[in-house]
Amino acid sequence: MKTPLAHGLTAGLSGEETSLTDPLTGLGNTHRFFDKVNRLIADRADDPAPFAIGVLDLDGFKPINDLFGRTAGDEILQQVAMRLRAAMDEHSTVTRIGADEFAFLYPMVFSEEAAADRAKMLIEILSAPYDVGHRTARLSASAGCSLFYTEEETTDLLLSKAETALYQAKRSGRGVVVVYTREMEEAAKRVTRIEQALRRAVAAGDVEAHFQPIVDLETRRTVGFETLARWTDHDLGSISPATFIPIAEERGIIGPLSQLLLRKATEAARDWPEQLFLSFNLSPSQLVDHNTGLQILAILERTGFNPRRLEIEITETGLMSDPASAEKIVEDLRRMGIRISLDDFGTGQSSLGRLRDFKFDKLKIDRAFVSSILNDRPSEHIIRAILAMCEGLGMDVVAEGIEEEAQAERLIQFGCTGGQGYLFGRPKDAEATLGFLRSRPGAQLRKVAG
């Protein structure tokens, strides 16, 4: 149903004009945007002078829409449209191409710097308060821009580049403008190559599980291992997990990848002494997938690994995306006998109340605090406070990233019982880990039939 303002904006338009017009705001729609850019590309075919396009997305519009209601949200979009239209010069065009996404065309902007300046101006205009009945609301916006340089570039390609730049802008924070560059194009191509190779590797089972020791700091006895992903591609070479794990998360590969790693890890850990546990990381997306618990259980049944020897690590970031879903999945895992550990504590945005609500078995102190424990008093105080809190909550603690003996000694003085880091061992593959365990005095490994 159109609001009165929307009806006034579209009244009197011909059928063709209506098909090119957004009924809510009166701005042009996606069809009009493509028509304008296609015409401009055709006009400049013989002399391809540059021009700029951009995509602008409202940050946090959905929460405002939920808070104030759909009608108020429509009124805000109309106010946004009026501000953007007023900011256009006689040559430029702004259109609405999505729910809270707008595209603009600047035929007389010839450089990346000028495009960024224009987009920043639009963001500034949109930052002023909006009237919503007797209340006011504030919005920010992010923008991605791209420039036309050669006749080979199409409207689809320009828009795709601008969307890529917008994605980069939104990852960098609110109110950010990013202009698509050749460097970004090369980076995007590399990401695509890695994604395609990773899909093939997961399907073929070519990503490997490596294991890093977790020790009792007092005795230096190994008590468990954390599973870490390692991947070497035939053409791309060794790819860091810091590179391929985020790509797997963003491109929807993380589920199959995680299941492959858990299967390989539990198959390897069956041969270890019974008292050793296996620690395994879940990604944020797995904490919103209600099938996660069933998938883990199916793998444990298939490999014959005791759930009580498994420890699942989750991060504060993973908890914050959907706390209700995460809580349900955590409860499912605990019912199986699986222990739950909170990883990278102190670097996320979770409140201390989460420690009470989720009833973690263990907390892992982030390496950022451990690395500076010897020369930074605030880090020392933070670690002391975490240890005191965990003692009160009955939680085990492991400090990550220990690389020096002096760091280990300081942590022992503070009362930390568990440690992990290069001081105690680097990640090794399944065969090397088994060799390490066999070399320990009194080692008793399971004999697996087969």
- The residues that are catalytic are 400
Residue 377: count of CB within 10 angstroms of its CB: 9
Cα gap 199→364, rounded to integer Å: 31
Token pair in block for residue 445: 């490994």
Phi, psi angle pair for 443, to nearest 5°: -65, 135
414: left (phi over 0), alpha (psi -120 to 50) or beta: alpha
Token pair in block for residue 135: 């209340």
Residue 125 and residue 87 in contact, taking contact as beta carbons nearer than 8 Å: yes
Cα gap 115→349, rounded to integer Å: 34
Helix (H, G, I), strand (E, B) or coil at 181: coil
Cα atoms in the Cβ-side hemisphere of radius 13 Å centred on 70: 5
β-pair partners for 59: 140
Cα 413 off chain centre by = 36
Residue 315 and residue 357 in contact, taking contact as beta carbons nearer than 8 Å: no
Cα gap 175→181, rounded to integer Å: 19
Q: What is the 3-state secondary structure (H, E, C) of 191-243?
A: HHHHHHHHHHHHHHCCCEEEEEEEEECCCCCEEEEEEEEEEEECCCEEECHHH
**Burial, 433: exposed, middle or buried (Cβ in 10 Å; 0-12, 13-18, 19+)?**
buried
69: left (phi over 0), alpha (psi -120 to 50) or beta: left
DSSP 282: P
Cα gap 287→139, rounded to integer Å: 29
Cα gap 78→244, rounded to integer Å: 41
> b vs e for 122-135, b when ≥16 Cβ sit within 10 Å of the residue's Cβ?
bbeebeeebebeee
Residue 184 and residue 164 in contact, taking contact as beta carbons nearer than 8 Å: yes
Cα 227 off chain centre by = 20
Which residues are CB-contacts of 159 (< 8 A; sequence separation ≥ 6)? 37, 53, 55, 103, 146
